[in-house]
Structure formats: structure tokens, C-alpha cells
Amino acid sequence: MSDCIPCTVQVLTHNNALTIRQNLESLRAFGEVIVQDGYSTDGTREIAQGYPNVRLMDQDRRFLGGDGYINDFSSMRNLSIFAAKYDWIFPEDADEYLSPEVIEEIRSIVERGEPGVYQAFRRFFINGEPIMHSSGYPAMQIRLFHRSCTVSGYRKPVHELLTLQPNVSVRMLRNELPLPLPPASHLHRKYRRYLDMETRRHRGISLSHWFCFVVWRSLRTMVYLSIRTLWILVTPRTGKRMPLAYEWQAISYSFLLMILTFPPFNRSPKQ
């Protein structure tokens, strides 16, 4: 481990035995992998404990819902960010993996010693086949950052955002990150959990706030994704298009978000 990358990879898990081995195999070069596990019962924990660079942490029950799934991703991620051994952090999902090219690029950045923040283009994969055309592209996300560049870690319980120090510029990784997608039916259940979290987050907002921040953004997203999906569908292209079942879920998410957060209907039980 003398040539390990001085960077902490953070992985959130909950019954991910089918994918966690591939994930952790691709992370052997890193000095530390913090696996925050949600009390898995399918062998995920046992697999993770078999890797010498893995530190297993139990997920904090304060940030778990009654179904055992995370209901505040930012708070959960922040726990391991500030417990990390290294100042360089790379958040990773349990069903993802890193290519050798990405690993070597990360090594080069970290060993250069200049603190920074890097986002990456995520390439969707379905059944091992890359998706070349999707309304969701470019699927950019901050994935590598130095801890000194953040104010207080992540914010927002779902679709979390990293808070950055003033004047910190976000640079781009040269290599794409592969992002395997589950079957559309599994993705629907994941979106449903996210919608429930968004509904709770917006509970009690005013009608004006709902119009300005939920309706406007959701309509803009729906129109953009619909036009992009149609354009991809009707124009000649080489390479695989994102299946319509996946595109439709992304569009309908914005529509359902408006309906479920409508203030007269989205009140706490006591109201």
C-alpha cells in the first residue's frame, strides 16, 4: 500500500452485494475507502470487510427513514467527509466503478498537491452498453475535491450540492466516469423515494415560493428534457439512444414534483 493514492473514497451502501465487489475492486489503489453501510443483511458488509483499505462505518440512524433508506444524503455524506483520513475526497456510489484511466488521472491530481475541485462527465451504461445520446447529457457532477475547498460539506437532503469556498473554480476531469443504470423498474422505485424526500423538504412552503422555485424550475426541466428527447428520437444518430422508458421517468419526475409539493395538499399531519 506504499504507492496508494492519498485520497479517501466515500461509498454509501445498503444491501449492495451484487455490485459492491466490482466497486471495491476498482478502488484498491486508494489509501482509504469509507463504506458507510445502512445495516445491510445481504453480505455487503462482509464483502467490504475483506478489503484492507476499507473502513466500515455504520450509517447514522438519525438520517435514515423508517424503510432503512437514507432521507438526508448531505448530512450522511458529511459525516464521512469530516472523518476521512485524507483531505482529498472522492464520493462514489456502490453500483459504480472507476476505470484505470480515471484512477491514474486522480493519482496525478492528488500527488500534484494543489487543492482543487473537479467535476466529471458521467457516461450512462445499460447492460454494459454505453449510452451515447440522452436528454440527461451532459451529466456533470463534482466528484473529486480537496476538503479545504468546502465551506461545510454538502447541503440539501436530496440531490445534494457541495458548498464551496469563495473564488474556488471547478475544473474538469479529462476521463468520463461510467454510471451503470439499473432496470427502469428499479429506477422508478429510487425516484419515488427521492420524490418523498422532496415532498417532506418542501412541506409548509408558501404558494408564492412553490410557484417561483418548484413550478418554474420543474416546467423548465420538463420542456427541456421533452424537446431534447424528441430531437434525439427523430434525428439520425450513431450509437445507442437512451431508452424512452428511462427518458420518460426523468420527465415525469418534474411533473410529479409539482403535484406532490402543491402547498394546499402538502401539509404536515398536525395541520
The predicted-structure confidence for 249-259, as pLDDT tens digits, reads as follows: 999 999 999 99
Residue 197 C-alpha cell reads as 424526500
> Residue 271 pLDDT more than 60?
no
pLDDT at residue 270, rounded to an integer: 54
What distance in Å separates the CA atoms of residue 232 and residue 146, rounded to the nearest whole number?
37
Any alpha helices (H) in the chain, and if so which ranges? Answer: 20-25, 44-48, 73-83, 100-112, 184-201, 207-209, 216-234, 244-260
Q: Give me the count of residues in the chain.
A: 271
CA 169 to chain centroid, in Å, comes to: 21
CATH superfamily of 5-180: Spore Coat Polysaccharide Biosynthesis Protein SpsA; Chain A (3.90.550.10)
Residue 191 C-alpha cell reads as 425516484
> Tens digits of per-residue pLDDT, 95-126?
999 999 999 999 999 999 899 999 999 999 99
- Give mean pLDDT, residues 188-210: 89
Banded pLDDT at 173 (limits 50, 70, 90): very high
What distance in Å separates the CA atoms of residue 166 and residue 218, rounded to the nearest whole number?
28
Q: Give the relative orientation of helices 216-234 and 244-260 as an angle to the nearest 10 degrees.
A: 170
pLDDT at residue 235, rounded to an integer: 96
pLDDT at residue 267, rounded to an integer: 77
- Give mean pLDDT, residues 10-30: 96
- Residue among 147, 104, 160, 113 at smallest CA distance from 8: 147
| Window from 69-78, 179-188, 217-226, 242-251 with minimum mean pLDDT | 179-188
Pairing of strands 129-133, 117-126: antiparallel
With contact defined as beta carbons under 8 Å apart, do 149 and 117 qualify?
yes
pLDDT at residue 176, rounded to an integer: 95
pLDDT at residue 269, rounded to an integer: 57
> Residue 13 pLDDT more than 80?
yes
C-beta atoms surrounding 66 within 10 Å: 6
What does the longest C-alpha to C-alpha distance in the chain come to?
59
User: Using the 8-state DSSP alphabet, how is residue 70 labeled?
Assistant: B
pLDDT at residue 200, rounded to an integer: 87
pLDDT at residue 70, rounded to an integer: 92
Contacts of 55 (CB under 8 A, 6+ apart): 32, 33, 34, 35, 85
Top pLDDT among 103 and 192 is at 103
Contacts of 261 (CB under 8 A, 6+ apart): 198, 199, 202, 205, 210, 214
pLDDT at residue 268, rounded to an integer: 65
Average pLDDT, the chain: 93
With contact defined as beta carbons under 8 Å apart, do 118 and 102 qualify?
no
pLDDT at residue 45, rounded to an integer: 96
- Give mean pLDDT, residues 169-190: 91
